[in-house]
Amino acid sequence: MMHAYFSDDQLRHHGKTFIVAGEKKPIPEVPERADILRTAVSRLGLELRAPDDAGMAPIAAIHDEQYLDFLQTIYREWREAGGSELVVPNIHPFDRNGPYPRHHTGKAGFHLGDTSCPVSETTWHSAYASAQTAISAARHVRDKGAHAAYALCRPPGHHASGNIAGGFCYLNNSAIAAQELRAKYDRVAILDVDLHHGNGTQHIFYDRADVMTLSIHADPMDFYPFFWGHAEETGAQEGHGFNRNYPLPLGSGDAVFLEALDRAMAAIDDFGADAVVVALGLDASRDDPFGGLAVSPDGFSKIGEKIGTLTCPTVIVQEGGYVSSTLAENLYQFLSAFGVTNKNTTLSEGPK
């Protein structure tokens, strides 16, 4: 049976509000998301295991030292300077090629790409625990010979680049998991099925040939993150890039999404992936408050079934999916169709 991982420390962060079309609105990335998703895991008969603490090294393999220091220290620095209860940027650099800022306001603008990633006193604790959840799932597959593992990551991660937070994401859990798998597997693919393009993941691996990034998402011409996620972004390896984007028209439902998934699965096969990370967003749901795509619960079942045909080791990392009437059902349908209870638990004998 698949192992699943979660830490209660992941519930400590709550960003509260962000700016949408000039108005302050509640952030939908709330601790309640994790509680709802846990009901689906329980319904599947899986035990949520507390992750081990692997320390900073796996996180530092993806994220810059300055950025990690910022996430751990900016709240105290901001508050001591008289700042508000949440660290929220009010200015951003034209580019990030100049000297690193000394002032707390400059640091916030440098590292926080939009207003959806406020930093509170507890943000680092939750982001760190979320990354450890992904690391434990990856190591269960990598070191124990397991076929698959699920990381209930919250906050999510796929919008975070090496040194910039964005879209509710602080540490890129899927990228961290993929790098962990690279210690054993020569070629790793990250298949992102979130409503939003995985721009942080793309940025981290864009010039690499050992990790393929694939993202199925609402068309960024009309939807967050707006600036990235176009089909022509194929990677920096000239003539042999390993990034694939599948932007879908707003409102697309099951059939359109599944056709794009077939193309992504074929690309993974052509790449010859030895292991796969699934960045599992559930916000493509027709019931999700973001409303960008219209995948049904049955559609998530079919997505899980298709991805479950992968014969290589697979780490499923939770990304988006916000509070709705079908959030738990969508996760249940995906994981049950993927085969959490009927696949062989190991690919080969490994350390117990």
How confident is residue 236, by pLDDT bands cut at 50, 70 and 90? confident
pLDDT of residue 349: 31
Distance CA 167, CA 194 (A): 12
Sorted by where each starts, the structural domains of the chain and their CATH numbers stand as: 3-53+122-338 (3.40.800.20)
Q: What average pLDDT does the segment 114-142 reach?
A: 97
Retrieve residue 343's tokens.
Answer: 């696949």
pLDDT of residue 341: 65
The backbone torsions φ and ψ at residue 183, rounded to the nearest 5 degrees and listed phi first, read -65, -20
Burial 124-163 (b: 16+ CB within 10 A, else e): bbbbbbbbbbbbbbbbbbbebbbbbbbbbbbbbbbbbbeb
2-31 confidence digits (pLDDT tens): 999 999 999 999 999 999 889 999 999 999
Distance CA 140, CA 228 (A): 32
Residue 92 known to be catalytic: no
Distance CA 331, CA 37 (A): 7
- Sign of the alpha-carbon dihedral angle for 247, 252, 257, 259: negative
Q: Which of 3, 13, 140, 159 is catalytic?
A: 159
66-105 confidence digits (pLDDT tens): 999 999 999 999 999 999 999 999 999 998 998 999 999 9
32-77 confidence digits (pLDDT tens): 999 999 999 999 999 999 999 999 999 999 999 999 999 999 999 9
* Residue 58 near residue 176 (C-beta atoms within 8 A): yes
SS3 95: coil
Residue type, 273: A
* Residue 140 near residue 146 (C-beta atoms within 8 A): yes
**How high is the mean pLDDT of the chain?**
94
pLDDT of residue 238: 65
Best CA proximity match to 85, nearest among 108, 119, 130, 51:
119
Place of tokens 């609105």: 25
238-294 confidence digits (pLDDT tens): 666 899 999 999 999 999 999 999 999 999 999 999 999 999 999 999 999 999 999
pTM: 0.95
pLDDT of residue 73: 98
* Residue 193 near residue 334 (C-beta atoms within 8 A): no
Mode of pairing for the β-strands spanning 23-26 and 17-20: antiparallel
Distance CA 335, CA 20 (A): 32
